[in-house]
Amino acid sequence: MASKKICVFPGDGIGPEVMREALAVLRTVETVSGGRRFETEEALVGGASYEAHGTPMTPDALALAKASDALLLGAVGGPKWDVLPFDLRPERGLLGLRRELGLFANLRPAVVFAPLIDASPLRRELVEGIDLMVVRELTGGIYFGEPRGESVIDGVETGINTEIYTRPEIERVARVAFDLARKRTRRVTSVDKFNVLESSVLWHRVVSEVGAKEYPDVELSHMLVDNCAMQLIRNPRQFDVMVTTNLFGDILTDEASMITGSIGMLPSASIGGKVGLYEPIHGSAPDIAGKGVANPLAMVLSVAMMLKYSFDMPVEAAWIEKAVARVLADGYRTGDIYREGEGKKVGTTEMGDRVRDAVQKTSLER
Ligand code: IPM
Ligand code: MG
């Protein structure tokens, strides 16, 4: 079988630390699979690229990404680069990658692992069995809309961004959500702000039309984003697939992550283009970078999503997911999910090692 070419962007902060563990897990999968081959090549993005090349993404790195079968990315950003002009900031590297590769749909599953129920700040009865999927539009909306910028207008400092969506942009991301719903419980909640924003009026209407015309078998409901933020805490179990705009999805998925106990647990898949991009939803966590305490599980689970969505290797993906569940059941916890007196507190490397051991075991349970 031909080997898969993976372009690896460790990025900044805890990115390289969690990436190291995730790649080690991938190597274990390769070994125990007896036949799968993964070739990895590293490239720079974000602050790391800025330091080396004076730009958060070079044309060479982009070309490498485009020529690969899938991309893994750790995290970008840090206080050191927050003073730079916008075009040079680490985040621009990531946003450029998403946009250049046409990755318009970002899948962010929030799944509660049973052993972590008490790590959630929400009560056990609210979070038990949570398994929801947020589909975040990723290449449009206020993140990319023009006009944008800072200027002085009539002597007043002014910052401008534009929320803009077109029918085709909404249709294609809605279809991703409806298709996913068909493999789940056939329920979609579309989240917008149509009582205030025209872009949301169009969003609301187009999602409704796509649902009615193409997916009559899927139950569609709409929710305003402020209400949704509240409902996610009040009763998260009411949700299955959610679809929303770039900015609302950014915010709601950080919120959803806490239902599961920690933002350090949530992976994501960005799809829609020729090559998929897989990254944790957490950031570069500069406060804990280099200390060896970061939770690598979101990055590890992102590798599982890559195997599933880009390489059609559901069996191997399940090894990783089961391995993570097993390690948590065995009581291993990084600081973010550790509770005094429960389980064993471990660092990034040991957590990675435990997952690799568990992958070996779960792979034998064929
Ligand atoms: C995310 C992050 C990014 C975003 C930043 C780092 C640009 O917060 O992936 O959620 O806003 O999309
Ligand atoms: Mg975010």
Domain boundaries, the chain: 1-104+272-366, 112-263
Residues sharing a CB contact under 8 Å with residue 53, sequence separation 6 or more, in sequence order: 44
Cβ atoms of 224 and 196 within 8 Å: the answer is no
d(CA 255, CA 258): 6
Q: Which atom of ligand 1 is nearest to the CA of 106?
A: 9
Hey, do 1-104+272-366 and 112-263 end up sharing a CATH topology, with the first three levels equal? Answer: yes
Q: Which residue puts its alpha carbon closest to atom 11 of ligand 1?
A: 250
pTM exceeds 0.85 for this model: yes
Q: Which atom of ligand 1 is nearest to the CA of 95?
A: 7
Q: Which residue puts its alpha carbon closest to atom 4 of ligand 1?
A: 250
Q: At what angle do helices 15-33 and 348-364 cross, to 10 degrees?
A: 20
> Looking at the CA of 268, which ligand is closest?
1
End-to-end CA distance of the chain: 21
Mutate to test the pocket of ligand 1, among 88, 106, 245, 250 (most ligand atoms within 8 A of CB): 250
* 250 Cα to the center of ligand 1, angstroms: 7
Of the candidates 250, 244, 9, the one whose C-alpha atom is nearest the C-alpha of residue 135 is 244
Tens-of-pLDDT digits for all 366 residues of the chain? 689 999 999 999 999 999 999 999 999 999 999 899 999 999 999 999 999 999 999 999 999 999 999 999 999 999 999 999 999 999 999 999 999 999 999 999 999 999 999 889 999 999 999 999 999 999 999 999 999 999 999 999 999 999 999 999 999 999 999 999 999 999 999 999 999 999 999 999 999 999 999 999 999 999 999 999 999 999 999 999 999 999 999 999 999 999 998 999 999 999 999 999 999 999 999 999 999 999 999 999 999 999 999 999 999 999 999 999 999 999 999 999 999 888 999 999 999 999 999 999 999 986
* 279 Cα to the center of ligand 2, angstroms: 11
* 109 Cα to the center of ligand 2, angstroms: 14
Q: Which bin fits 47, alpha (ψ -120 to 50), beta or left (φ > 0)?
A: alpha
- In this predicted structure, what is the pLDDT of residue 72? 98
Among the listed residues 250, 278, 309, 332, the single catalytic one is 250
Q: Is domain 1-104+272-366 in CATH 3.40.50.300, yes or no?
A: no
| CATH code assigned to 112-263 | 3.40.718.10
Pocket of ligand 1 contains residue 77 by CB under 6 Å: yes
Of the candidates 134, 78, 52, the one whose C-alpha atom is nearest the C-alpha of residue 283 is 78
CB burial string 113-142: b at 16+ within 10 A, e below = bebbbebbebeeebbeebebbbbbbbbbbb
- Annotated catalytic, 254? yes
- Annotated catalytic, 250? yes
- In this predicted structure, what is the pLDDT of residue 366? 63
d(CA 172, CA 94): 22
